[in-house]
Amino acid sequence: MNTWGPIWNLKSAERMLTTLQTVFKRYGYEPDGVCGTQSSSARSHRTYALRESASGDGGFECVAASTNVPSPLAEIELLLLAVSCFREFNITVRIGWNNPDGLVAEAQRVLLRELGLEETCFFDPALGNGDSANPRFVFEIAGLNSSDVTGLGYGERIADGGERGGPAATLTLLLKPIMERLGSAGTASSEVAIYSSAQNLAVALLAAEELRGCGIAARLDIGLSGRKPSKEGASERFHIVVGADGRGADAVTVVDARNKSEAVWQLDEALHRLAQAIL
């Protein structure tokens, strides 16, 4: 039974957004009154907002936007965000995606395979991706066991970011079909920041997903294009550094900012200890 009231009602949409906030917080997304209007600084931004549906049908949609988050992290993170949102609602989806950049597309396929999501997030060459002058990463979300053909969401990545001032990626979730298939929602907990180099991206993503699956918010900072991730200005209590000081990806450094302590553990042990400390 749908307990959210009329699907065209703003109050219902706001209640749905409250549920989605649980997932957005885990991925480091903050509420923004007008999604996608961040400054042109080099600092990455992750925001989300509720707005009237672009289709003009009187419904509502939730838009998550990231700016200055490098590829392939932005694309993979949005796919993971979408999958996590629908898992919260017990809704099974398949996400088709396409990327005109062959090298980046192959890197994304490898990461999704290592994350065990190759079947859920599948490469779909039939999806359009803009003209040759402005190629775009695109994806479409479709629900399974659905009685209609309404999609549950879509997204894109624009290389130059347009007016956003940097590389931009968006995820749009259509609230009407989600509310029609509403399941149950969980709760969020404290936050962890995970830092990694590009070569350890898959390990960092897996660690973040395991924490999020326990209800622990996890933010990724990946050093791509020669940039080293930095803990400066970070608000999280716990920081996981993957592959620090030449160690293998399985040995991570865990920093407790509150107690000003640092330890090196195997990844599985570190995640277990953090779960015990936070939950």
**Roughly how many angstroms between the first and final C-alpha of the chain, as a whole number?**
31
With beta carbons less than 8 A apart as the criterion, state whether 124 and 98 touch. yes
**Using CB atoms within 10 A of its CB, is residue 67 exposed (0-12), middle (13-18) or buried (19+)?**
buried
DSSP 146-188: -SS---SEEEEEETT-GGGSS-EEEEEEEHHHHHHT-------
Closest CA to 253 of 266, 267, 263: 263
Q: What does the pLDDT average to over 143-170? A: 65
User: For residues 125 and 105, is the Cβ–Cβ distance under 8 A?
Assistant: no
CA separation for the pair 100, 130 (Å, rounded): 9
**pLDDT greater than 70 at residue 169:** yes
- Long-range pairs for 83-88 at CB < 8 Å and ≥24 separation? 83/117, 83/120, 83/121, 84/23, 84/26, 84/27, 84/212, 85/20, 85/23, 85/173, 86/141, 86/143, 86/152, 86/178, 88/19, 88/20, 88/22, 88/23, 88/183, 88/184, 88/185, 88/186
In sequence order, what are the residues at sequence separation of 6 or more whose Cβ sits closer than 8 angstroms to the Cβ of residue 171? 63, 64, 65, 78, 81, 82, 153, 155
Q: Quick: pLDDT tens for 235-258.
A: 788 999 987 766 677 789 999 888
Average confidence (pLDDT) over 15-34: 78
How many other CB atoms are found less than 10 A from the CB of residue 147?
8
Helix (H/G/I), strand (E/B), else coil: 273: helix
Q: Is the pTM of this model over 0.75?
A: no
pLDDT of residue 153: 84
Reading the block at residue 167, the tokens are 């590389």
Mean pLDDT of the chain: 75
pLDDT at 87: 82
Cα–Cα distances (Å) from 210 to 18, 84, 255, 274, in that order, read: 22, 11, 18, 11
Write the burial class of residue 257 (CB in 10 Å: 0-12 exposed, 13-18 middle, 19+ buried). middle
Please tell me the predicted confidence (pLDDT) of residue 94. Answer: 87
Tell me the per-residue pLDDT of 70-109, one tens digit each, with 9 for 90 and over: 878 888 888 999 998 888 777 788 899 988 778 888 888 9
Position 182 confidence tier, pLDDT thresholds 50, 70, 90: low
The mean pLDDT value for 114-129 works out to: 86
Residues 30-68: pLDDT tens digits?
887 444 434 445 577 888 888 777 766 556 788 898 888
68-97 per-residue burial string, b: 16 or more CB within 10 A, e: under 16? bbbbbbbbbbbbbbbbbbbbbbebebebbb
Query: Domains of the chain, with CATH numbers?
Result: 10-180 (3.30.930.10), 191-278 (3.40.50.800)
For 226-245, b/e burial (b = at least 16 CB within 10 A) is eeebeeeebebbbbbbbbbe
How does residue 183 score in pLDDT terms, banded at 50, 70 and 90?
A: very low
pLDDT exceeds 60 at position 209: yes
**Average pLDDT for 112-127:** 89
